[in-house]
Amino acid sequence: MATTPIAQIIDGRTLAGQVRGDLEREVADLRDAGFAVRLDAVIVGDNQAGRVYAGNQAAMCAAIGIDYHLHELPGESSEADITGLLDDLNADEAVTAIMLHLPLPEGMDTARIQARIDAGKDIEGVNPANIGGVIYGRRTLVPCTALAVMRLIESTGIKLAGAEVVCVGASTIVGRPVAVLLMEAEATVMSTNIHTADLAAHTKRADVVIAAAGVPGLVTGDMVKPGAVVIDVGINRIADEQTGQSKTVGDVDFDSVSTVAAHLSPVPGGVGPMTVAMLLRNTVAAADGR
């Protein structure tokens, strides 16, 4: 096995920047045609991480001309308070996109509340109608991370029809929608999960491996076929062995996999920035579709 890095690093930041450039032009065209693109986000209670994310979102939206409104509800809000606000936003014609920051306060039925978001404004693709659209091949509002994974794979130029693909992890928000999008692209898809007996036996055969399990360093170089495309979705905080400081790593052991794979997406700087770009893409698509 080679010991020097040979993989081309998939630069998610640069690719995401190109997407944002295209979107900025689309937003301007929509504005010229009399349609303002507007995203309304809802945050409930003391969600510090959500507030940081919302601040970044506001800046990203401003940069490409999307109006951004953040609605803050107190932690004591009831489910009816939240769904009432969502109903108002659904009914407001000026609002073209809606998202709900998670987590919601403990004890709330997140899926039931998300399902209240109008399917045409649901830019995270969490309404069952949009999830059904993924199954039926209607690519309207698809979960952003799944879209981001597809964009990064497409950037490598690999032909998916006939390729063997292994999805490591089968969550409703990442692993499952990715697997369905890959089926639509006519790849041969294997979905694995925590009960999969011999993960390496599957990944070693794969032309594309998508790691979305939330387990740091799960996919190592000896589990990857030479020349494969490896997409790392994981975002895990661990302590750096040398400095003791906390750092972000993916589900892929970057050093060993980069000596075997032909293309590898890094963490940070891979799927993460493209996911944000895909949220903006869905925001523009929701406004365009009305």
Q: CA nearest 63: which of 37, 101, 89?
A: 37
Q: How many CB atoms lie within 10 A of CB 285?
A: 21
| Residue 54 contacts ligand NAD per CB under 6 A | no
d(CA 133, CA 120): 11
Nearer to ligand NAD, 146 or 187 (CB): 146
- Letter for the amino acid at 123? I
Nearer to ligand NAD, 158 or 173 (CB): 173
DSSP character string of 170-198? --TTTHHHHHHHHHHTT-EEEEE-TT-S-
| Residue 235 contacts ligand NAD per CB under 6 A | yes
Closest contact distance (angstroms) between CB of 55 and ligand NAD is 17
Q: Which of 95, 174, 209, 219 binds ligand NAD (CB under 6 A)?
A: 174
Number of amino acids touching ligand NAD (CB under 6 A): 25
Distances (CA, A) of 94 to 122, 236, 250: 15, 38, 39
Evaluate the CA torsion angle 170, 171, 172, 173 in order and state its sign: negative
SS3 content of the chain, % helix, strand, coil (to 5): 40, 20, 40
| Residue 170 contacts ligand NAD per CB under 6 A | yes
Q: Which of 47, 57, 127, 192 binds ligand NAD (CB under 6 A)?
A: 192
For the chain, the straight-line distance linking the first and the last C-alpha, in angstroms and rounded, comes to 53
Closest contact distance (angstroms) between CB of 109 and ligand NAD is 17
- Letter for the amino acid at 197? A
Region 242-281 residues binding ligand NAD, contact defined as CB under 6 A: 271-272, 275
Closest contact distance (angstroms) between CB of 147 and ligand NAD is 10
Closest contact distance (angstroms) between CB of 213 and ligand NAD is 4
Nearer to ligand NAD, 120 or 272 (CB): 272
Stretch that binds ligand NAD, among 18-26, 91-99, 127-135, 192-200 (CB under 6 A): 192-200
Q: Which residues bind ligand NAD (CB under 6 A)?
A: 145, 168-171, 173-175, 192-194, 196, 199, 212-215, 218, 233-236, 271-272, 275
